[in-house]
Structures are given as C-alpha cells and as structure tokens.
Amino acid sequence: MDFTLDTGNTAWMLASASLVLLMTPALAFFYGGMVRGKSVLNMMMMSFGALGVVGIVYVLWGYSMSFGSDVGGIFGNPFDWFGLEGLKDADGILAGSGVPALVGVGFQATFAIITVALISGAIADRTKFSTWLVFTAIWVTLSYFPLAHMVWGGGFLSGSEDGLAAKLFGTTDGAATVAPIDFAGGTVVHINAGVAGLVLALIIGKRKGFGKEPMRPHNLPFVMLGAALLWFGWFGFNAGSAGASNELAGLAWVNTTVATCAAMLGWLVTEKIRDGHPTSLGAASGVVAGLVAITPAAGALSPVGSIFLGAIAGVLCALAVGLKYKLGYDDSLDVVGVHLVGGFVGTVLIGLFSTGTGLFYGGGVKQLVVQFLVALFAVVFSGIITAVVGLALKAFMGWRVTEEAEVGGVDLALHSETAYETLGAGSRVVTEVK
Amino acid sequence: MTKLVTAVIQPHRLDDVKSALEAAGVRGLTVSESSGYGRQKGHTEVYRGAEYTVDLVPKVKIDVLVGDEDAATVVEVVVKAAQTGKIGDGKVWVVPVEDVVRVRTGEHGDDAL
C-alpha cells in the first residue's frame, strides 16, 4: 500500500495528541484539589509518574502490543515494532487518512497514559509511590494494551470475523454484522480504569479514619480548573478519535460538548434534590461524568441523543458516588462512581441511542446486547488482571505507607515536601536552612 | 490602670465595628481571624453526597487596649455595632492589664495607649 501525506489531517491529529497529553496534568489538578492538603503533591505526582513510565513503555512495546499482528485475539505481537523499529507510514493506524504512523503512535500513547493515571484517584493518601510506578508499567502491559488490541486492534472485542460480536450475530463480508461500538475508549479507558480502581481500593484497604473523620477536598478551585482542562483536552480524545479533520470529528466535538453540559446539569439537579444545594464539586464531577459517558458514543449519536445520554449519566454517576459508604470500600476520589459507572452507562446506552443501529432508532436489540456483553467482558478481564497484579505487588513490595506516614501526610513522608507553608495544627517549623 | 477589651464577632460586622470604634475615639486595635463555636454550634457541608459537620465557624477577634474609664463605653460601642440579633453574634469581655509598653518610646501604662 502506498502512503500519501494529508497535511490537514496530520495537523489535526498532532493537535489532538497534544490535547490528550494535557489531560494527565489536568487530572493531577482535578484529583489534587480533592484530597487533603497533606497529600496533594503525592496525588499529583501519581499522575506525573504514570506519564513518565507509560510514555516510555508505550514506545518500547505498547504500540506493538496494541496494534501488532494478532495473537489469539487477545494482544498484538510486542516484537513486530518493538521500540517502533520498522514501523512504516503505510502500516500506521491512520494511514487511510494520510497521517504518518508516528503521529498515530503519539496519539495512542496519550490514551494509555491517562488511563493509568485515572486509577490513582481510587488509592489516594496511602499508597507507596514506588509500588505505584511498578504497577503502572505492569498493569498497562497486561490490561491496557490487550484491551486496546481487542477493541481497536482487530481483536476479540472488535468487529473482526473471529470476535465476540461475529460469534453472536454472524458475519457479513468477513466482518461482524453488528460490530461493537467504542468510539474513543469507553471500555478500553474508562471501564478498564474504573474496575482497576475498585480492585486496588479493595486490595489496599481504607484510609485510616475513612467514613469517620472528615476528608474534605482541600482546594475546590483546583478541582474546577482540572475539570476545565480535562474538557478542553477531551476534544482531542473524542474529536481526534475520528482520525481525521472531517464531519465525524465535528459530530464528536458537538456531541462531547452537549453531553457534558447535560451531565453537569443532571448531577447538579440530583444534588439539589438530595442534599439541598448544587455544589462546585458536583459541577466539576458532572463534567467529567459526561465526558466519560460520551467517549464511546461520540461518533454514533445525534446531538440530541447525546443530550439524553449525558443527562442520564450525570444523574446515575451522582447517585453512584455514594455507594462506597454503603458498601464500605474506600475509592477515595470516586473512580468507580464516575469512570466505571459512566463508562459502562455510555457503552451500553449506545445500544439505545445509536442513530444507525440503536433500539430507539429502529435498529432492534442486537446492538444493545453486543454493547452490554463487550462492557461486561471488559469488566471481568480488567478485574482479573488487576487482582493478580495488585496481589502480587502486595506480596512483593507492599502497597501501603506506614500509619505514621499516612497520618502525618504522604507528601512529607514520600517526597520530603509540603504543598503549603502551613497546614494548621501540627505543621512543621523550619529551624535550619542549609 | 489599663483594660483589654476582647470581642469575638461575626466577620461581616467587622467594618461597622471598626468605624464605630474610630468614631468613639479608639486609636488602635488588633484584628485576627479565628474560629470557634458557641450555642449555634457548627454547620454541615456536603461533598459528593457525603455530609460533614464542621464544628468551628469562622469569626473575627478584635483586641482593644483602653484606659479604665473608657472600657464600659467601648464595650457598649462594640456590642451595638456587632449586633444582628441572630444566634452566633459573638461575645465581648474585659480583663485588667498589668502593664502596657509602647515599644518605640518605652512609655508605660496609660501613656502607652
């Protein structure tokens, strides 16, 4: 196959990759504002740490494991393009739109990075930084790259003729008749990260004083700043997932925006009814819930359908964040309530709202069944992999800091820094400057 | 003899209390942000559906050093200016001060005011 460069598409994909990269530091602010003042630096460092490790791993074997030649429908061959050696533009994932292979690599790398960083919110305030860094490398290799391959690389959860959807409802012209839809990563990114967050929160255990002591967000303006930057970066995530600067990118952009608007309002209305006040944390959370839910659906819905999907996701996620107190797991910053629930809802609702094949548009129930089973498969796969990796690291490295470090603040214990001059009672006094 | 008048008031009454004291001839005061509770107790805040009871509410503390004979007037001025009639308006109290020294000149007692 010959490769012809399309400068317009290439420019947009480079911009999109850069936008998605910004989402990880944005997440650092979103999460950082939500923890207590004594652990904000560690929280932000978990995002930056994931950025450092996963960025390198992706170039070495991540891309090849995601898009290399298929091994059993589960992952790509890591040695096809190990270190990106031998990768030609004509073989690139965006070759069809005239975008060079390395631009596709950059774009995809940013997705892997943000997915891993998302998990950190579930295990805030108590996790050893060293164990976290090791986890990022292993988890992205065993859970993210295989799922990315299964969904986007022609594996088991794609529309390939050996895939789950083809086995269910047959094939037409060598592809599944009812192909699963995951436009920008509802399963690969959000269900995957949400399940991993839940499993790690269970393995690592609750923070000391969880449910008894107040653990108020220490800086809500940070949270809102983070949500704003995430929204901006998400245009690269969703509109960039069109793979070109075209009508589909425009549709994804508009759908992303209106679903997010609707989810924010849905979350705020839920709060007003349940708690009496619409909160800034609720607005920021609703924004992220909407962005999550529209991610798999951005290319398959009409703008009005997206408003419904966003509103439903906003209400459901606002209700879901309370579950941890009832069920007794300490998913500190609601990775489960927002990403697992939002990702699952968005993936499944495609079966209702897809303009091509959705139940509400006369497409019958087949798409709904496919979407549900793909989402369920992602939950089980990610759950098993994360449990194995998490328990192994617990045995070999240990996940938790000492109780003293946790109470005194992980910033000081792990990084020998504090974010603020004073932290109220018990703050340190500088007695000597060397 | 010098007296120390201390008032803990609602933060939003500070400007009025300051002007009233100035009008009454008080030449200096110290203001600090503080927090505490009296009969009104704290308040509740809700974060992602989780309710937190915050015991301590923000207050402003004013310290004024005055001569013996002015103490009762200053207390009255503060109370009048700080009063809203609602629970949480605060307290004012007076204590005797053994000595006051003006750092710049070394003057003692009422001369230092």
Question: Could you read off the pLDDT of A220-235 as tens digits, one per residue?
Answer: 999 999 999 999 999 9
CB within 8 Å: B52 and A216: yes
Contact A70, A76 (CB under 8 A): yes
Parent domain of A289 = 13-153+174-415
Question: Could you read off the pLDDT of A227-258 as tens digits, one per residue?
Answer: 999 999 999 999 999 999 999 999 999 999 99
- Kindly state whether residue A432 falls inside one of the protein's structural domains: no
| Chain A touched by B44 (CB under 8 Å) | no
CB within 8 Å: B46 and A217: no
Residue A337 sits in a domain whose CATH number is: 1.10.3430.10
Contact A347, A375 (CB under 8 A): yes
pTM: 0.87
CA distances from A72 to A78, A81, A152, A264, A269 (A): 13, 18, 15, 41, 47
CB within 8 Å: A216 and B51: no
- Residues of chain B short of pLDDT 70, as ranges, are none
- Kindly state whether residue A233 falls inside one of the protein's structural domains: yes
Across B2-37, b (16+ Cβ under 10 Å) vs e yields: bbebebbbbeebbeebeebbeeeebeebeeeeeeee
| A434 — pLDDT class (breaks 50, 70, 90) | low
DSSP β-bridge partners for residue B99: none
The confidence score (pLDDT) of residue B61 equals 96
CB within 8 Å: B49 and A285: no
Weakest mean pLDDT among A299-303, A317-321, B51-55? B51-55
What is residue B90's three-state secondary structure? Answer: strand
- Kindly state whether residue A291 falls inside one of the protein's structural domains: yes
CB within 8 Å: A216 and B45: yes
Question: Could you read off the pLDDT of A364-405 as tens digits, one per residue?
Answer: 999 999 999 999 999 999 999 999 999 999 999 999 999 999
Judge residue A7's burial from the number of C-beta atoms within 10 Å of its C-beta, 0-12 exposed, 13-18 middle, 19 or more buried: exposed
Contact A310, A294 (CB under 8 A): yes
- Kindly state whether residue A110 falls inside one of the protein's structural domains: yes
CA distances from A137 to A62, A130, A131, A242 (A): 10, 11, 10, 28
| Chain A touched by B46 (CB under 8 Å) | yes
Residues of chain A contacting residue B56, judged by C-beta atoms under 8 Å apart: none
| A423 — pLDDT class (breaks 50, 70, 90) | low
Q: Which residue of A has its CA nearest to B50?
A: A322
CB neighbour list of residue A343: distance below 8 Å, 6 or more residues apart: A186, A187, A189, A190, A191, A194, A292, A293, A295, A296, A375
User: Roughly what angle, to the nearest 10 degrees, separates helices A101-119 and A145-152?
Assistant: 130
Q: Strands, E, within A317-433: which ranges?
A: none
The per-residue pLDDT of chain A, averaged, comes to 95
CB within 8 Å: A271 and B46: yes
- Kindly state whether residue A2 falls inside one of the protein's structural domains: no
| Chain A touched by B52 (CB under 8 Å) | yes
Model confidence at A213: pLDDT above 70: yes
Q: How far apart are CA A99 and CA A134, in angstroms?
A: 33
- Kindly state whether residue A169 falls inside one of the protein's structural domains: no
Domain count, chain A: 1
Residue appearing with tokens 């906003």: A314
- Kindly state whether residue A367 falls inside one of the protein's structural domains: yes
- Kindly state whether residue A100 falls inside one of the protein's structural domains: yes
CB neighbour list of residue A167: distance below 8 Å, 6 or more residues apart: none
Question: Could you read off the pLDDT of A136-180 as tens digits, one per residue?
Answer: 999 999 999 999 999 999 999 999 999 999 999 999 998 999 999
Q: How far apart are CA A375 and CA A194, in angstroms?
A: 12
Model confidence at A262: pLDDT above 90: yes
Q: How far apart are CA B112 and CA B97, in angstroms?
A: 12
The confidence score (pLDDT) of residue A28 equals 98
Q: How far apart are CA A309 and CA A344, in angstroms?
A: 12
Q: Which residue of B has its CA nearest to A333?
A: B48
Q: What ipTM does this complex have?
A: 0.71
